[in-house]
Structure 1
Amino acid sequence: METNAISRRNLLKSSLTVGAGLSLGLPDAMAGSEKKVAHNFKFSLNTSTIREQNLGLMGEIETAARAGYDAIEVWVNTVEKFVQQGGNLKDVKKKAADLGITIEDAIGFSKWIVDDASEREKALEQNKREMAMLAEIGCKRIAAPPFGATTGKVLDLQAVAERYGKLLEVSDNFGVTPQLEMWGFSTNLHLVGEVLFAASESGHPKACVLTDVYHLHKGGSSFNSLKTASGSSIQMFHMNDYPGVPPRETINDGDRILPGDGIAPITQILKELHNKKTPIVLSLEIFNKEYWKMDALVAAKLGIEKMKASVAKAIA
């Protein structure tokens, strides 16, 4: 078995459990009994998890809703493709509302962080276009990762904070908040402390950070670092897990697996997030080809089942 593949035995076992629920005619509810517990989380599907099934924007929203998610995290390029194919953004907002699902965030890539002033100006114009589009579908946030600065020189963190502040100022006109995203493989913003510093020093009241189980591991941050973040600074958190092999130095995005299937301290993480006592969206973000081979609805249901089980265990 390839090192970046999930255990086929575990996958088959989990798939059969979800498949049984589908065969019993439960397409809109989780299979099996679920202990109801009070918590501060919403469950979201990042569409990376089912992106190779090529459902299109509307299909992804429908799948997330049918699987039982509260929310969805879309990709900007998927929204753009929908528009290019003649889609009406107002229909997207209505579809989500009709299905009772919120659009919490969009994954986008602009070079807002780089030293080159002309590139930053282009990035801000790009963000304006994207935020205007996202506002029409009712999307609340957009990711702001260190795109364009993942290799090369280490940037001055104070400069990064100022640049993030400018991005936040732009967002004030659209109501779509950029979340400062940590990328564990990046030269810049690969540590929790770095994103927290830049968010704090941006001076903007809506500054917030987007962290991730996998990226915490990949970047080398202690999971205890989450204790230093206030509840309001973490509005969303990317959920996934990782195996023991390959090691941190060579692990990559494709090695991510479902929460509870790996060695990450998921219970510790969720306890810490729960203790913040503020609303937090847990968004499942996976890039694993084994899940891409599955039926999209089955994969989505498997994901929410794993997330809910992890939450129940953490706060029992």
Structure 2
Amino acid sequence: MKIAFNEATTLKNSTLKLDLELCEKHGYDLIEIRLDKLREYLIDHTVEELKEFLEGHRIKPYAFNALEFITFRDQEGYEQLKSDLRFLCEVGEVIDCKTIIAVPTFDIGDYTKTKIKEETVRVLHELAQLAEPYGVRIALEFCGYPNCSVNTFAQAYDIVREVNRHNVGIVLDCFHFHAMNSHIDDLRAADPTKIFVFHMDDCEDLPAGALRDHHRVWPGDGAIDLEQILRTLKDIGYDEMVSIELFRPEYWEWDAEKTIQVAKEKTEKLVNRYFKIERV
């Protein structure tokens, strides 16, 4: 299992350049690059400079995070979405980053589950077709909030199966899995090759439907049965990567190096119980 860092964990106290340097220093294998941090980096640097750094260091890019609110867009918004996708595919081609996370839309009104599925399947087909010439995969991330159009593992996995494309899969985020009471039996029945990204996090002990990003805490410090999830992933044969992703404002107040170091220590402590941690 390779250990990755998601830049949301240092959203307010670091940059892509600093995240890369500190993740390299503390022995991460992979990084998930945020779109906003990438755009900020490119104000003063080039994609070629990013490529040069990555080629000279162990840490490698794994995914871009994220294309947001991909469904129920107006025409202008949908064209912007496709433009962002092409931008990430082009950067990914240079730095060898071949996965893009896609987030469904929130607060869509009174659309039925059937209509949500139809729309999400349609959009994923189109995005995957645009990404395919670049060898890029699209990973659908359900979000465990009542107002998200796709908010459970089972709903997202059903959509991915309906799309039935080799370059469309799912993001398993422990926080989102827990937040709307996704069922471990659904994960147990999943094809591990369709899990493109695995996010590790924990949270405070709030009821289903009440949790929000700021309730996330370090893995092992909260209410999620992370060991059950890890054990299930091992049982079904998933062992590709695990990425620490938190959005807790308290941690954004820390020094970025402390955040990155603690994130790795907390993640490895749990993952080591079930998986051999590999190096790229």
Q: Which residue of 2 aligns with 1:242?
A: 203
Q: Which residue of 2 aligns with 1:196?
A: 157
- The structure number with the bigger radius of gyration is 1
Alignment of 1:74 with 2:38, yes or no, is: no
Higher mean Cα deviation, 196-205 or 150-159? 150-159
RMSD between aligned residues: 1.9
Q: CA deviation at 1:275?
A: 2.2
Q: Which residue of 1 aligns with 2:168?
A: 207
Q: Which residue of 2 aligns with 1:262?
A: 222
The C-alpha deviation readout for 1:58-109, integer Å capped at 9, x for no partner, is 1111111112111011101111111123x11122122123220110011123
1:135 is aligned, of 67, 82, 93, to 93
Q: Which residue of 2 aligns with 1:31?
A: none
Give yes or no for contact 2:67–2:84 (8 Å, CA) kept in 1. no
Q: Which residue of 2 aligns with 1:44?
A: 4
Alignment of 1:144 with 2:102, yes or no, is: yes
Q: Counterpart of 1:262 in structure 2: which amino acid?
A: G
Q: CA deviation at 1:182?
A: 0.8
Give unmatched runs, 5+ long, in structure 1: 1-40
Give yes or no for contact 1:105–1:141 (8 Å, CA) kept in 2. yes
Q: Which residue of 1 aligns with 2:243?
A: 283
Alignment of 1:105 with 2:66, yes or no, is: no
Alignment of 1:84 with 2:43, yes or no, is: yes
Tell me, in whole angstroms, the C-alpha distance in 1 between the residues paired with 2:51 and 2:234: 29
Q: Secondary structure at the match of 1:235?
A: strand
Q: CA deviation at 1:146?
A: 0.5
Alignment of 1:93 with 2:54, yes or no, is: no
Tell me, in whole angstroms, the C-alpha distance in 1 between the residues paired with 2:274 and 2:225: 10
1:302 is aligned, of 245, 262, 268, to 262
Q: TM (normalized to structure 2)?
A: 0.90
Rate the CA distance shift 1:313–1:179 in 2: closer, same or farther, 3 A: same
Q: TM (normalized to structure 1)?
A: 0.80
Rate the CA distance shift 1:188–1:291 in 2: closer, same or farther, 3 A: same
The C-alpha deviation readout for 1:100-134, integer Å capped at 9, x for no partner, is 01100111234432164554344223311232123
Give yes or no for contact 2:204–2:217 (8 Å, CA) kept in 1. yes
Give yes or no for contact 1:112–1:124 (8 Å, CA) kept in 2. no
Q: Counterpart of 1:59 in structure 2: which amino acid?
A: L
Give unmatched runs, 5+ long, in structure 2: none
Rate the CA distance shift 1:293–1:173 in 2: closer, same or farther, 3 A: same
- How many residues matched? 272
Q: Which residue of 2 aligns with 1:153?
A: 110
Q: Which residue of 2 aligns with 1:292?
A: 252
Q: Which residue of 1 aligns with 2:128?
A: 168
Q: CA deviation at 1:285?
A: 0.4
Pairs within 5 Å for 1:17-36: none
